[in-house]
A and B are shown apart, each in its own frame.
Chain A
Amino acid sequence: MPARILGLLITAAAMAAPLSGAISVAPASATLRVVATTTDLATLAAAVGGELVSVESIVPPATDPEAFEPRPGDTDKVRRAALLVRVGLGYDYWLDALTQNIGDKRLMRGGDAYLDASGGIPLLEIRGQSVTNEGGHSHGVANPHYWLDPENAVIVTAGIAEALVRLAPEQRERIVANRNRFLAELTMRRKRWSDRLAPFAGVKLIAYHNSWPYFARRFRLDVIDFVEPRPGVAPSPAHLARLISEGRRAQVRAILHEPYEPEDASRLVARKLEVPLVLLAVSVDSVPGTKDYFALIEYNVAALAGALSPPGRQVP
């Protein structure tokens, strides 16, 4: 009897999952259950796995991923995963406690079902081991926002493809074909994105959080400072004053802002500098119109290019 009740609960949780806004792609002939911590990795896994996998993500988009608290249903999601894909670098540190609780070696570092997507990524901003976090991140060894550089999607999908082939060797060809299709489209779009942002190479920006080093490296942008240098601690008046005078001197052209953060401070700086406030999406689905990985980068490139274009030719 209790087993049946549990079964009912699980079904209910599975039915409720799409409501919570988490991405969930479940084709009829699903064989491998892939669970990713973020929507970004989930869409990349869906692109590689295609019809071979059903994909779920854990952290709802448009919430602060570094303040995420897993819920009981997530334990279940992770427990039943054939492949668990994480961002790593301390970004989804809560996952360790979760897999520890489950106690399944398969899901832990080194296990068959475990994939840390940061493997092989050229990491930026590796921090010195000082106690303070001037780098704008409260934990982790390097800046974790690597998926925002489209070139890194090549590496991440390679890791996912490898893991899937390991789990289902007989599907090797389909997986490789899926990934190649994804890469072909990526290459095509990559050129368009670079062309779109090429006129703004070297442009000075201020960001709310330090979420954009990989994006900035790829598109040759200069993020000179951050509105909230220590996550979760409101900026001091002195810091904002400094930011404004620094922004004036460096001729900052826009303020970048994440959708789930309070806007007041960013808006104040933007107003004083008389530059636009640009809402950029850190994750798939965190802003309307960012349904998958391509749409995410597309949205960010378009939003930034639109804000930086001279007023006469502004793209809506």
Chain B
Amino acid sequence: MSDALSFLLLPFAASVAFVLVHAYLGVHVLRRKVVFADLALAQLSALGATVAFAVGHLPSSTAGFAYALLFTTIGAALLTLARHLARFVSQEAFVGILYVFATAATVLVVDRAPQGAEHVKKILMGSILTVTPRELASLAALYAIIALLHWLARRPLLAISSETAPAGRSVLAVSIWDFLFFLSFGVVVASSVSIAGVLLVFSFLIVPAVIGSIFSAEVRVVLPIAWGTGIVASAVGLVGAYMLDLPTGAAMVTAFTLLLVLAGIAKALVFAGVRERRANLRVAARALLAVALVLIFASAVWLLVKPTADQPLAALFEGATGMGPEHFLNAGDHDIYESATRDMTRFQGEVDQLNAREKAARFQSEPLSDEEIRRIASYQQSFNEMARGERFVQEVLRGKARARERWLVGLPAAIIALSGLGWLARRQRWRHSRRRSAETGASRNSIAA
């Protein structure tokens, strides 16, 4: 456990730093309605680093950083321009084009300097898990400076983020503030993307800010909520990745999204008036039921029409109830199915065992000769062939079982699901007409009064 702790502590500390700065910038980005600006800026900075590499500077060198900064600055200038071009091109389209172009240009540059591929791969996937204490320290220093600047200039920055055409400010002033915002944003994103990767940085930036804005429009309320949920989501993602043996970045992004869904549910069912809450609950329950019934109906019809095809829901049902396809076979077929399953596992085991033996012989006792290796390989290929044969047998029998299952399971399921859907629809119509008659009754009463 101490190993696990030492493993997750640094990434968690880095996540907290990321959340504090990114969630704040996310609030701005949401108000500016340019959520993909971070991707565009990050990709431009990656392009800068790649160009630097192609010219012969290491990505970690001063020159490499200078190139990245230069390209980020160009990106900030272009994004500043976006506001003034909004009459002709939508800002989102502009940002998207910038992103796609920067990505494509990076690929082209990498193609000329293949060793840079590692760098690009790292930017896409990131590896927050392996953040070093030194990286964390320089991140903290950088973020402290940027946070200070933003705190000093918080009023004009927020005002300009919130309005499309800020009143009482000259075009030049707005442009300068825009540029400063995008430049600081670009520097933050360029530094975080190289550690956490684009997917995770996008989550840090947008998801906590969205969660906050579900509950309030006030920045003073939004920010603490965003920070809190962001930190919780990071912790859940990291621990989840550890416990469930998952890639860290992807697990964290999923945790952020899950938390957003939970926040949405909480908003509808917990932080709502009593009447509203009850109505929301009813709608949610009905929607869930309807979706489940439609799924069951579609899957049952699919089973009826084509029992030998892939049947994901039927397979799920079989797995959950323990009623595998073998239960729908007669005794003879049942035995064949069982033995095919058994033999397949056995043949695969033989292949693995031979691999283990060969591997051990690489460095222990006498090495195996090429002839012996060839013999092992041909045994393995035969075992694979036999396993494939058993799998074929299994598939044929599964098809046979499903063909029988369709009348025993598929037909009743289809009927039940369909009548359930019919009941839901009738109920809905009944409620609707009752409400309407109540409304007309009320209006008649008011006229009469």
> Which A residues contact B (CB, under 8 angstroms)?
19-21, 60-64, 122-130, 141-142, 151, 201-203, 213, 216-217, 220-222, 233-241, 244-245, 259-265, 267-268
- Total number of residue pairs linking A and B with CB closer than 8 Å: 138
Cα–Cα, bound, A62→B114 (Å) = 6
- Cβ of B241: which chain A residues have Cβ within 8 Å of it? 236-238
Between-chain CB contacts (< 8 Å), 26 pairs: A20-B111, A20-B112, A62-B117, A63-B114, A63-B117, A122-B371, A122-B373, A123-B374, A124-B358, A125-B359, A126-B355, A126-B380, A126-B384, A128-B348, A142-B377, A213-B362, A216-B363, A217-B358, A235-B247, A236-B251, A238-B241, A240-B129, A261-B121, A262-B118, A262-B125, A264-B122
Instruction: List the A residue with the shortest CB-CB distance to B369.
Output: A122
Which residues in B have their C-beta under 8 angstroms from that of A262? Answer: 118, 121-122, 125, 127
- Among B118, B354, B387, residue most surrounded by chain A Cβ atoms (within 10 Å): B118
Q: Given the complex of chains A and B, what is the CA–CA distance between A61 and B251 in angstroms?
A: 33
**Nearest chain B CB to A9 CB, angstrom units:** 18
Q: Which B residues are CB-close (under 8 A) to A244?
A: 3
CB < 8 Å neighbour of A260 from B8, B115, B248: B115
Distance (Å) between the CB of A121 and the closest chain B CB? 9
Q: A126-B384, A237-B7, A240-B7 are in contact. List 17 more A-B contacts (CB 8 A).
A: A62-B115, A64-B117, A125-B359, A126-B351, A126-B377, A142-B377, A213-B359, A216-B362, A216-B363, A234-B129, A234-B248, A237-B11, A238-B241, A241-B3, A260-B115, A262-B121, A268-B129
B242: chain A residues at CB < 8 Å are 236-238, 241
> Could you say which residues of chain B place their CB within 8 Å of the CB of A233?
247
Residues of A contacting B: mostly: loop
- What number of B residues sit within 8 Å (CB to CB) of A? 53
B246 part of interface (Cβ distance < 8 Å): yes
Partner of B381, one of A122, A126, A151: A126
| Chain B residues, CB < 8 A from A63 | 114, 117
Give A222 to B348 CA distance when docked, in angstroms.
23
Question: When the two chains form their complex, are residues B363 and A221 in contact, meaning their CB atoms are under 8 A apart?
Answer: yes
Residue pair B367, A220 in contact (C-beta under 8 Å)? yes
Q: Which 6 A-B pairs have the closest CB atoms?
A: A122-B373, A264-B130, A128-B348, A126-B380, A234-B247, A128-B351
Chain B residues in 8 Å Cβ range of A130: 348
Q: Report the separation of the CA atoms of residues A234 and B391 in the bound assembly, to the nearest whole angstrom.
A: 31
Q: Tell me if B154 counts as interface (CB < 8 A to partner A).
A: no
CB-based contact B118/A259 at 8 Å: yes
Cα of A16 to Cα of B120 in the assembled complex, Å: 24
The CA-CA distance from A130 to B364 in the complex, in Å, is 28
* Chain A residues with CB under 8 A of B387: 128-129
Q: How far is the CB of A250 from chain B (nearest CB, A)?
A: 12
CB distance from B60 to the nearest CB of A (A): 11
How far, in Å, is A34 (CB) from chain B's closest CB? 22
B contact residues around A234 at 8 Å (CB): 125, 127, 129, 247-250
Taken together as a complex, chains A and B put the C-alpha atoms of A203 and B364 apart, in Å, by 11
Is B245 on the interface with A (CB-CB < 8 A)? yes
Q: Quick check: is B238 within 8 A (CB to CB) of the other chain?
A: yes
Q: Chain A contacts of B163 at CB under 8 A?
A: none
Q: How far is the CA of A129 from the CA of B348 in the complex (A)?
A: 7
Cβ of A123 and Cβ of B377 under 8 Å apart? Answer: yes
| Contacting pair A122 B377 (CB below 8 A) | yes
Q: Is B152 an interface residue (CB 8 A)?
A: no
For A203, list chain B residues within 8 Å (CB). 363
| Complex alpha-carbon distance, A194 and B426, angstroms | 82
| Residue among B130, B246, B352, B364 making CB contact with A265, cutoff 8 Å | B130
Closest to B350 in A: A128
Point out the residues of chain A lying under 8 angstroms from B121, CB to CB: 260-262
